[in-house]
Structure 1
Amino acid sequence: MAEIKVPELAESITEGSIAQWVKKVGDRVEKGEFIVELETDKVNAEIISEEAGVLTQILAGEGDTVLVGQVIAVVEAGEGAAPAPAAPVEAAAPAPQAAPAPVATAPVVEETSGERVIASPAARKLAREKGIDLAAVSPVDPQGRVRVQDVAAHGTAPVAVAAPVAAAPKAVVAVDESRVTVEKMSRRRQTIAKRLLEVKQSTAMLTTFNEVDMTNVMALRSRKKDQFFESTGSKLGFMSFFTKAVVAALKKYPYVNAQIVGDEIHLNNFFDIGVAVSTEEGLVVPVVRDADRKNFSEIEDSIADLAKKARDKKLGLSDLSGGSFTITNGGVFGSLMSTPIMNGTQAAILGMHSIKKRPVEVDGEVAIRPMMYLALSYDHRIIDGKDSVGFLKTVKELLENPEDLLLNS
């Protein structure tokens, strides 16, 4: 017999939630086979079986919170005999209850509508067993992802799902379901909310603004993008210019690249730049390592690779930890101005915004130029106004003279 336990993923991760079971009780599993997906506040992890055999017990259902080291399933040697029912586990601490028995196998069908439906592997399997067209299932998830619960409820009257026994009673708020749609926050969304609130409450956050004339960056990019692609195989975007400008400004104003640890200020002598990426499950901030040592094409490749991994849910803990400064681009969603919230223990974050043509004064005359507002949110406990304004002014000057960035890269 082999116990499947929640693995230790990182020192900062102590618990997670069962996102989905890929296998059900009675299924044959091979050594090293992926059987359950665990959602943590940072990444989703695939848990494998260390032994070959039959999955005889599932001790935590989808959505349950589980701790590192907790036994969540049992695999026994065998070829798939009828599984024994899961027995209650007696322990000093309360253990998650066994998941419901699987639905009996039915004729297998695939989606008949021709439309590819976004669904978890477990949901697809249950739909095949019950002979249900996934395209006909109405998901609860606002993003349209079909889960096991949606398939199980398809074609039946809505039923209440038994909730785990709570440690203490919670206040029940009456909700008019005809007027309000209620959805449970994902673990990642809960963590995002908690950490953003912590930053607001534990720092003296202030935001300063400037604007940058993007004329020269846009003209240089237009002239060089084809040649850049032919010589490097990479697309030349705006993020490499901003990353290079930020690194140069951080070297000039080192306290912007610092953090408070207890009663000490730690000045970082490395330049690991976090780049905020929006995903279906919320904002993540993968890190471009040693951005000061990378050229334009290497930065573009790093950002493209991290963004793809974020969309494909393939980011690892090493991709997300240890950043010293963050850049976030609300402009891709049409934001004209915002006050971004700092990321974790970092001292500052730069917000990019939409490029809009506006009348500005140029050499004593009014001209229409493509302008972008920049916002620097910073911890006033570390960074004084002089440094914050100077940092932002340096970024502005470098972006308005982008040849300097190319020459210094």
Structure 2
Amino acid sequence: MKEIKVPELAESITEGTIAEWLVKKGDQVEKGDPILELETDKVNVEVNADASGVIAELLKDEGEDVEVGDVIAQVDENGEGGGSEEETSSKNEEPESNGKEEKQESSGDEKKEDAAGKDSKEVIATPAARKRARELGIDLSEVSARDPLGRIRPEDVDVAAEGGKKQETTSSSKSSSEDKPKKQEKKKEEAKKTEFDKPVERVKMSRRRQTIAKRLVEAQQESAMLTTFNEVDMTNVMKLRSDRKESFQKKHDIKLGFMSFFTKAAVGALKEFSLLNAEIQGNEIIKKQFYDIGMAVSTDEGLVVPVVRDADRLDFAGIEKGIADLATKARNKELGLEDLQGGSFTITNGGIFGSMLSTPILNAPQVGILGLHNIEKRAKVMPDDTIEARPMMYIALSYDHRIVDGKEAVQFLRRIKEMIEDPYDLLLEG
């Protein structure tokens, strides 16, 4: 019997959640065939069979958390699947029974196993639940499932087993058995009072959402995070885009968006204020000599931050194509680990959802993140003291005050503002 274990996934990924089994007990598989989809904190990955044969047992359920090295299934390399090792062992031991009494006991056991097997086929239950039922001698047809789809899980079997024991111990006392329903009803009423008075829906957080929540809290607990703000007049960028959009798209087969301007501006500012392109490791500051810019992308499963590599070496078209490619892969759930690892600085654009102002949270271990917001016409006092309605955007920089001082943060954001308000220099540099 060959054990299938959770393989090494990536340096930073040590655990995941079984999203879906692609095979079932008794299926024939070849070495290298995908057998399950594993949800990690970054992407979903397929785990392949490392041996050919028949799936003899699935040892973990969908929705269960597993770690690298955990045994999740067994493959019968001789092609004789369909039964667990315990059943095979019991069958091999049957001929060794000699006494009449032993034969009768063996016969009785077989009848119980046959009955349990028959019942288990008539109900929907996870492999772990079936195994648990065999261990406890529980008839699956008498187990109530709490799963909305009617699937029996191991905890349902445990509840059934505990219920049976309670009934046995209380059957001798008439008064206790009469008081039990009243006590249970009282407990239910008390539980309801401590919960919600109106209908609610409980939904288990996905592995990715749990990790996002954990890391966001860690980022706030482990860094001295502050945010500084400024506003940018988008008049010149919008005029430049309007003048060049047709020729740019015709030449590069991609639209000229705002993100390429801000990416170019961020790279330029990072070169001047290098501590915002660094991270802390122990008592050392690691100043990165590359500019891999993370682009926060919202998906149905949560926020992901794919990375545009070597943004300082790309022109506007290269940046736009890189962002578009990553966004498409994110929406189609095709991002690989290589798309998400690393990154030296992050840009997040809440403006696409209509956000006017926000304080973005650091993408640890990075020490800086630039937040963009929606563009709205606001009154602006011009140099000649006249007032004009101009397209304005608030921008925010969250930074780790442990290594970045307020002066540097303010100057960094000021430099972003200057480059966006005079974008022609960016085009020349690009």
The two structures have a TM-score, normalised by structure 1, of 0.79
Alpha-carbon distance, 1:152 to partner: 4.6
Verify the 8 A CA contact 1:257 1:268 in the aligned structure 2.
yes
Equivalent residue letter for 1:180: V
Verify the 8 A CA contact 2:27 2:55 in the aligned structure 1.
yes
How many residue pairs end up in the alignment? 344
Please list the CA deviations of residues 377-396 of structure 1 after superposition, one character each: whole Å capped at 9, or x if unmatched.
Answer: 01111111111111101111
What's 1:15 paired with? 15
What's 2:234 paired with? 214
1 or 2, which has the higher helix percentage? 2
Equivalent residue letter for 1:24: K
Alpha-carbon distance, 1:163 to partner: 6.8
Segment drifting more, 183-192 vs 48-57 = 48-57
CA distance 1:295–1:78, shift in 2 (3 Å):
same
CA distance 1:273–1:3, shift in 2 (3 Å):
same
CA distance 1:24–1:220, shift in 2 (3 Å):
same
CA distance in 2, matches of 1:164, 1:398: 65
Confirm whether residue 162 of structure 1 aligns to residue 155 of structure 2: yes
Please list the CA deviations of residues 149-186 of structure 1 after superposition, one character each: whole Å capped at 9, or x if unmatched.
Answer: 66556xxxxx8872798xxxxxx995348422211111
CA distance in 2, matches of 1:12, 1:197: 18
Percent identity among equivalent residues? 57
Segment drifting more, 26-35 vs 7-16 = 26-35
Equivalent residue letter for 1:289: R
Alpha-carbon distance, 1:286 to partner: 0.8
Please list the CA deviations of residues 128-165 of structure 1 after superposition, one character each: whole Å capped at 9, or x if unmatched.
Answer: xxxxxxxxxxxxxxxxxxxxx66556xxxxx8872798
What's 1:24 paired with? 24
- Select the residue among 318, 321, 329 that pairs with 2:341: 321
Confirm whether residue 368 of structure 1 aligns to residue 389 of structure 2: yes
What's 1:183 paired with? 203
Confirm whether residue 52 of structure 1 aligns to residue 52 of structure 2: yes
CA distance in 2, matches of 1:275, 1:284: 8
Equivalent residue letter for 1:34: P
Q: Which protein has the larger Cα radius of gyration, Structure 1 or Structure 2?
A: 2
What's 2:429 paired with? 408
What's 1:335 paired with? 355
CA distance 1:103–1:401, shift in 2 (3 Å):
farther
Verify the 8 A CA contact 1:213 1:371 in the aligned structure 2.
yes
Verify the 8 A CA contact 2:54 2:81 in the aligned structure 1.
no
CA distance 1:304–1:312, shift in 2 (3 Å):
same
SS at match of 2:325: helix
CA distance in 2, matches of 1:185, 1:29: 31
Please list the CA deviations of residues 334-375 of structure 1 after superposition, one character each: whole Å capped at 9, or x if unmatched.
Answer: 110000010011111000001111111122211001110000
CA distance 1:180–1:59, shift in 2 (3 Å):
same
CA distance 1:196–1:56, shift in 2 (3 Å):
same
Alpha-carbon distance, 1:51 to partner: 2.8
- Select the residue among 255, 259, 270 that pairs with 1:239: 259
Confirm whether residue 392 of structure 1 aligns to residue 385 of structure 2: no
CA distance in 2, matches of 1:345, 1:207: 17
Verify the 8 A CA contact 1:58 1:86 in the aligned structure 2.
no
CA distance in 2, matches of 1:286, 1:404: 27
The runs of 5 or more residues in structure 1 that have no matched partner are 89-100, 106-121, 123-148, 154-158, 166-171
CA distance in 2, matches of 1:287, 1:177: 45
CA distance in 2, matches of 1:178, 1:87: 47
SS at match of 1:224: helix
The two structures have a TM-score, normalised by structure 2, of 0.75
CA distance in 1, matches of 2:85, 2:245: 61
What's 2:115 paired with? none
Please list the CA deviations of residues 41-83 of structure 1 after superposition, one character each: whole Å capped at 9, or x if unmatched.
Answer: 122110111233221210000111111011101222466x661
Verify the 8 A CA contact 2:29 2:52 in the aligned structure 1.
yes
CA distance 1:371–1:164, shift in 2 (3 Å):
farther
CA distance in 2, matches of 1:344, 1:177: 39
Please list the CA deviations of residues 191-210 of structure 1 after superposition, one character each: whole Å capped at 9, or x if unmatched.
Answer: 11111111111111111000
What's 2:305 paired with? 285
CA distance in 2, matches of 1:207, 1:397: 19
Confirm whether residue 381 of structure 1 aligns to residue 402 of structure 2: yes
What's 1:260 paired with? 280
Equivalent residue letter for 2:421: E
The runs of 5 or more residues in structure 2 that have no matched partner are 88-118, 127-146, 159-190
The two structures, once aligned, show a CA RMSD in angstroms of 2.6
Equivalent residue letter for 2:155: A
Equivalent residue letter for 2:212: I
Verify the 8 A CA contact 2:362 2:369 in the aligned structure 1.
yes
CA distance in 2, matches of 1:164, 1:406: 67
CA distance in 1, matches of 2:348, 2:265: 14
